[in-house]
Structure 1
Amino acid sequence: MNSKNSSFLVFTFFCLIAFNSFASVDTVATFSPSMQKEIKAVVITPKDYDESKDYPVVCLLHGYSGNYSDWIAKAPQLESYADQYDMIIVNPDGNFGSWYWDSPEVESSKYETYVGKELVEFLGQKYSTVKSRDGRAIIGLSMGGHGALFLAFRHQDTFGAAGSLSGGVDIGPFPENWEMKKHLGTKRENPERWEEYSVMCQINRLIPNKLKLIISCGTENFFYEVNVRLHEKLAYNNIPHTFITGPGGHTWDYWRDAVPYQLLFFHNYFASAN
């Protein structure tokens, strides 16, 4: 092969890389005034991100024992979804086992305030985002599934849509698990608190058709029964929602397969709301 042809192929190769490049993935440092500390988050912006345009935002929460890098490390296809749906996807840190509560027991753990208020304000200042609930959704897996619904139910002026993947949506059956008693005290000594801090007991906050909801859980998941109960309670209270179930356990294989359906759901919501 002569040098002229070789140079042409190299040029073509780099042009193809540039043409097919995916979203921008950045790890950013945010600051929580309520906790007086720096918290990391992954922010995925579409490849054609333009500051003259306002983008919808999906906040995607990790599960217990995870961190801000879990989603992009284990589901890197999020980059292509950010491009496909022209949205910003944010993966904040939930400090291993915060359950995204403002803990009444641990003064330094205020992750409801952080995700529901401080992170939203940071994104609005640093990125070109839709500045209303019509352009914001929140979703998570496991502990993050609980957190997403808990925050959305309690902050309906902030989020217009919410989803859960294998969420621990009723904490009552699990009083000894996942450090919850560290943040709430024991269930035996604080039964009312354990009800107050469970998604299942937040449904009375909902107004039909105000918050768009999608809930997914595999039939082999240990959270399957509590998700079915949440679905039934939402239906009983005439709260419209999408409930998806099928084979699958508490695994990344299930979450990787399920997350694109939820992102499409949010994309359609953003399109209809704006």
Structure 2
Amino acid sequence: MAVMTLNYNSKTIGMHQNITIILPEDESFFNFKDEAKPLKTLMLLHGLSSDETTYIRYTSIERYANEHQLAIIMPRADHSAYSNMAFGHNYYDYILEVYDYVHQILPLSKDRANNYIAGHSMGGYGTIKFALNEGDKFSKACPLSAVFDINQLLNIEWYDFSRQAIVGEQGDITGTDLDIYHLVDAAVAKRNPIPKLLIMCGKEDFLYDDNKQFINYLGNKGIPYHFESESGQHDYAYWDKAIKKVIEWCTED
């Protein structure tokens, strides 16, 4: 098992960025006469109060990934809501750059069937956004304790978090690319490929009602999904269990 911090000079952000990577070792990595076996890969997006290191520190993700031979790519996206910020960096484009970059330099499968995306809270919001917009890259997507009503995220009071940094002077963002419900409608209208969806949220999570409202909307639009809920708060005790389920679900045949 290789665990690494990859620091590279991002052309999108315009400065060096850190990515945390879990890379399970395959026997082919030591057979230097042949090409390495390409691994299945999960892009994992952090939440508002987290960064690219927190899953390594607060969960057993390394053990889960190794058991299922799944590479995990964990980029850092600040307080961006995984958007191209009005006053800040283009973090939506940056995640796409990370996807392309790691698939270029690491032994990762480029097959859509072997690529997945997941994330919690703000990262869950990012997950569903990429699932609806970039479904040609990911076959499965797993929003965990996700924000689906963007106003709940934009209006949250958190240390050094700014709505204006993301949306500028826009008031109503309904119908914009930040509006997940608008993205659902657009994906259906355009017949975009939508990954298989595993949506999870703890019953004691303050976003539980938001999740229930969203899955009802998916059902009304005829979009398949699997929803799992059990006792759980908005914390890493829940996300440790959730990410184990995500890894099992993504790698099952």
TM-score range, shorter chain: 0.7 to 0.9
Equivalent pairs counted in the alignment come to 240
Alignment check: 8 A CA contact 2:61 2:240 kept? no
Match in the other structure for 2:178 = 197
Cα distance change of structure 1 residues 175 and 120 upon mapping to structure 2, 3 Å threshold = closer
Give secondary structure in 1 for the equivalent of 2:229: strand
Residue identity matched to 1:53 = K
Match in the other structure for 1:58 = 42
Match in the other structure for 1:7 = none
Alpha-carbon RMSD across the aligned residues, in angstroms, is 1.9
Gaps of 5+ in 1: 1-22
What TM-score comes out, normalization by structure 1 length? 0.82
Match in the other structure for 1:30 = 8
Question: Structure 2 matches for 1:1-274, cutoff 5 A?
Answer: 23-48=1-26, 50=29, 52-75=36-59, 77-95=60-78, 97-103=79-85, 105-106=86-87, 108-115=88-95, 117-177=96-156, 178-185=161-168, 189-192=170-173, 195-204=176-185, 205-206=187-188, 207=191, 210-268=194-252, 271=253
* Structure-2 separation of matches of 1:194 and 1:66: 28
Alignment check: 8 A CA contact 1:24 1:79 kept? no
Residue identity matched to 1:131 = K
Give secondary structure in 2 for the equivalent of 1:192: coil
Residue identity matched to 2:179 = S
Q: 1:126: Cα distance to partner?
A: 1.5
Structure scoring higher RCO (CA < 8 A, sep ≥ 6) equals: 2
Match in the other structure for 2:32 = none
Larger Rg: 1
Q: 1:132: Cα distance to partner?
A: 2.7
What TM-score comes out, normalization by structure 2 length? 0.88
Cα distance change of structure 1 residues 155 and 251 upon mapping to structure 2, 3 Å threshold = same
Q: 1:47: Cα distance to partner?
A: 3.2
* Structure-1 separation of matches of 2:226 and 2:9: 34
Q: After superposing the two structures, state which structure 1 stretch, 224-233 or 167-176, moved more.
A: 167-176
Alignment check: 8 A CA contact 1:30 1:38 kept? yes
Q: After superposing the two structures, state which structure 1 stretch, 24-33 or 46-55, moved more.
A: 46-55
Residue identity matched to 2:107 = S
* Structure-1 separation of matches of 2:21 and 2:107: 12
